[in-house]
Amino acid sequence: MQFLSLLAGASVLLTPVLAQTWTACNPMNASLTCPPDPALGLNHTFYFNTSTAVDQAFNVTAGTLNYGNNGAEFTIAQKGDSPTIQSQFYIFFGSVSVIMRAAPGQGIISSIVLQSDDLDEVDWEFIGGNATYVETNYFGKGNLSSYDRAVYYPVSSDTRDNFHNYTTHWTAEKLEWYIDGALVRTLPYAAADGGYNYPQTPMTVRLGIWAGGDPTENQPGTVEWAGGVTDYSKGPFTMYVQSATVNDFSTGKEYVYSDHSGSWQSIKTIAGNSTVAHKLTAPPPETIAQKWAKLPTGAKLAVYCSAGGVAALALSVLLFTCIRQRRAGRREREAYNAKVEKERDDAYRDQMELREKGLGGWDNSTQGEDALGGWGGSHSGSDDEARAPLTSKGPNISSYEVPSPSRSTSPGLSRMASPGPVVLSPQPQSAHAWAGDNQSMSGGGGYGNNSNTSPRSPTFPLTSQSPQYGSGSSKGGYHRF
Ligand SMILES: *[C@@H]1O[C@H](CO)[C@@H](O)[C@H](O)[C@H]1NC(C)=O
Ligand SMILES: *[C@@H]1O[C@H](CO)[C@@H](O)[C@H](O)[C@H]1NC(C)=O
Ligand SMILES: *[C@@H]1O[C@H](CO)[C@@H](O)[C@H](O)[C@H]1NC(C)=O
Ligand SMILES: *[C@@H]1O[C@H](CO)[C@@H](O)[C@H](O)[C@H]1NC(C)=O
Ligand SMILES: *[C@@H]1O[C@H](CO)[C@@H](O)[C@H](O)[C@H]1NC(C)=O
Ligand SMILES: *[C@@H]1O[C@H](CO)[C@@H](O)[C@H](O)[C@H]1NC(C)=O
Ligand SMILES: *[C@@H]1O[C@H](CO)[C@@H](O)[C@H](O)[C@H]1NC(C)=O
Ligand SMILES: *[C@@H]1O[C@H](CO)[C@@H](O)[C@H](O)[C@H]1NC(C)=O
């Protein structure tokens, strides 16, 4: 997707059309001095099976996410939904590997986007109605004037049913897109308008899903690009993101544009640890056991003693209660027995009297012990009515979004789709292995048998690295790891 296309006509300060597309301050605007970009400054793998990663390092810029065994769930359940997250940090060259399953659904677009403040952009986009292709794209400095940047590549198995590894490897020299470890596309610096429109400024990482097929929110060209009109009744449509490994190739606390050129040479790195780095490297909060272990002996003793005191007190109270209870019980039993004896005696006497008078005889029916009381039947039968009926749990996906009124209104701001996207089978690429990364091409796979069918450059150096996820995936993709 062209996040940028929404911002075309840069002379107007636009309200964000989608949250993802927003740049708070464009450093190329000569009348602005933009705040520094908080850096990541390290390498980190974010696992999305809980909310921790998002809480620590991302802003939820639209909608809500759920978390499960398949990772973060980005769901479109109804019109207007477009859950999206954006990293709080920036990377200044780096690599991003996202392990994800795209959402199904005609017109539903799942996306991985890197975007900078001056609107450099690198994209992966998944068209929900197309199971086997992924679109790669890029933009430099918000230049939308040509539409030949989108290139589609085949993926070895259904992108909606299988986890795959979509990796962007980005340096000052070249930009590379990898699918499951296989290099599919290389953009050398000079190939992007002599480098001027090469993505080269600090980027945030954005993950999200939107309905490109909603005709009330998008131009016809966009709906067509998205694969047709979205039928929300066929939803919900969910994109699953298991993890994202983000390696920042710069270190530092912040990245600063030192001028308005938007060139990578103008970016200064400020030394230090970033806010996010602090959060990610902070030791986990202490458990009670750890806190206990740290207490000085005196304090522990005091606690033991007071705990012992409490225990002794509790015991004495309990004993007293038991004894009292037993005493009370004995008194009650004796009274009861006495009562029974008396009743029997009385009854016997009555019977004897009657017999002596020659009237009637022993009548068992009125003389059972139950007649003396005991457990009446009166409490039974009421329990069931007190039980509340089980409430049925509603759908666990909720989203409270305000559809943006500006979404499709401004002329020239449409999500213009490429009229004739270039569709390529993977071309042989020259043998670029990125420096210092010996796992760039896991020849043995790493995704089960995927790599056997994954397109790759015949000249790409193969290593003998063993599978990284050998244990689980046996059939295409990251079923488990
Ligand atoms: C630059 O920023 C100023 C102040 O926000 C704004 O008025 C102007 O339109 C911006 N110029 C461009 C080209 O975006
Ligand atoms: C981050 O990973 C890259 C490879 O992707 C490596 O070259 C670099 O040394 C790593 N940086 C740190 C701080 O570990
Ligand atoms: C989340 O995934 C990570 C990495 O696979 C694992 O170590 C962790 O135990 C998982 N957490 C939960 C709550 O499943
Ligand atoms: C994330 O949200 C915080 C708080 O709203 C904001 O200050 C910060 O600029 C946001 N980060 C990015 C990268 O948008
Ligand atoms: C998926 O996209 C590719 C590339 O655009 C195209 O060749 C193919 O026909 C599409 N498949 C479907 C089912 O739309
Ligand atoms: C925008 O991109 C087009 C096509 O690549 C190029 O011809 C043009 O010079 C670029 N414009 C700017 C201002 O860089
Ligand atoms: C994803 O692919 C990249 C590029 O080949 C590789 O370096 C990385 O280790 C892979 N990530 C996972 C989680 O397999
Ligand atoms: C950054 O963090 C590391 C490890 O957490 C620490 O050793 C180092 O002193 C910190 N640097 C700064 C400038 O705070």
CA of residue 113 to ligand 1 center, whole Å: 25
Catalytic entry in 73, 121, 135, 254: 121
Tens-place pLDDT, residues 205-224: 999 999 999 999 999 999 99
Ligand nearest to the CA of 283: 8
For residue 349, pLDDT over 60 is answered with: no
pLDDT at position 458: 26
Among the residue ranges 3-17, 218-232, 287-301, the one predicted with the least confidence is 3-17
Comparing CA positions, the residue from 67, 77, 61, 64 lying closest to residue 3 is 61
CA of residue 290 to ligand 8 center, whole Å: 24
Say how many domains are in the chain. Answer: 3
Domain identity same for 239 and 332:
no
Residue nearest to atom 14 of ligand 3 (CA): 49
Comparing CA positions, the residue from 62, 64, 122, 54 lying closest to residue 88 is 54
Comparing CA positions, the residue from 195, 192, 98, 184 lying closest to residue 133 is 184
Residue 121 among the catalytic residues: yes
Among the residue ranges 139-153, 287-301, 368-382, the one predicted with the least confidence is 368-382
Among the residue ranges 55-69, 320-334, 341-355, 379-393, the one predicted with the least confidence is 379-393
Which ligand 8 atom sits closest to the C-alpha of 273?
A: 1
- Tell me how far apart the alpha carbons of residues 192 and 397 are, in angstroms, rounded to a whole number: 41
Which ligand 8 atom sits closest to the C-alpha of 272?
A: 13
Q: Which of 14, 32, 33, 118 to mutate to test the pocket of ligand 1 (most atoms within 8 A of CB)?
A: 32
Cβ of 468 below 6 Å from ligand 7: yes
What are the phi and psi torsion angles at 351 (to 5°)?
A: -60, -45
- Tell me how far apart the alpha carbons of residues 189 and 62 are, in angstroms, rounded to a whole number: 33
| Structural domain boundaries, residue 473 | 372-481
Q: Which of 265, 282, 299 is the last residue of a domain?
A: 282
Cβ of 146 below 6 Å from ligand 6: yes
CATH code of the domain covering residue 227: 2.60.120.200
Q: Which of 44, 45, 46, 47 to mutate to test the pocket of ligand 3 (most atoms within 8 A of CB)?
A: 47
pLDDT at position 37: 97
Q: Which of 254, 273, 281 to mutate to test the pocket of ligand 8 (most atoms within 8 A of CB)?
A: 273
Domain identity same for 382 and 461:
yes
Which ligand 7 atom sits closest to the C-alpha of 181?
A: 5
What is the overall mean pLDDT for the chain? 71
Domain identity same for 277 and 298:
no
For residue 382, pLDDT over 60 is answered with: no
For residue 9, pLDDT over 70 is answered with: no
Selection from 91-100, 365-374, 406-415 with the highest mean pLDDT? 91-100
Q: Which of 333, 357, 381 is the last residue of a domain?
A: 357
CA of residue 32 to ligand 1 center, whole Å: 8
Domain identity same for 50 and 68:
yes
Indicate the pTM of the whole model.
Answer: 0.68
Q: Which of 267, 282, 297 is the last residue of a domain?
A: 282
365 within some domain: no
| Range 378-382 contact pairs with CB under 8 angstroms and sequence separation of 24 or more | none
Model confidence at 145, in pLDDT bands (50, 70, 90)? confident
Residue 125 among the catalytic residues: yes
Residues having CB closer than 6 A to ligand 8 are 272-273, 281
- Tell me how far apart the alpha carbons of residues 107 and 114 are, in angstroms, rounded to a whole number: 22
Which ligand 5 atom sits closest to the C-alpha of 152?
A: 4
CA of residue 273 to ligand 7 center, whole Å: 26
Domain identity same for 406 and 305:
no
CA of residue 11 to ligand 1 center, whole Å: 6
Tens-place pLDDT, residues 232-269: 999 999 999 999 999 999 999 999 999 999 999 999 99
Among the residue ranges 104-113, 151-160, 354-363, the one predicted with the least confidence is 354-363
362 within some domain: no
Cβ of 13 below 6 Å from ligand 1: yes
- Across the range 404-411, mean pLDDT stands at 30
Structure tokens at 449: 């048998």
Ligand nearest to the CA of 143: 6
Model confidence at 474, in pLDDT bands (50, 70, 90)? very low
Domain identity same for 255 and 318:
no
Domain identity same for 345 and 469:
no
366 within some domain: no
Residue with the two structure tokens 């190739």? 249
Selection from 29-38, 296-305, 323-332 with the highest mean pLDDT? 29-38
Domain identity same for 263 and 232:
yes
Cβ of 26 below 6 Å from ligand 7: no
Cβ of 11 below 6 Å from ligand 1: yes
CA of residue 444 to ligand 7 center, whole Å: 13
- Tell me how far apart the alpha carbons of residues 390 and 392 are, in angstroms, rounded to a whole number: 6
Domain identity same for 345 and 377:
no
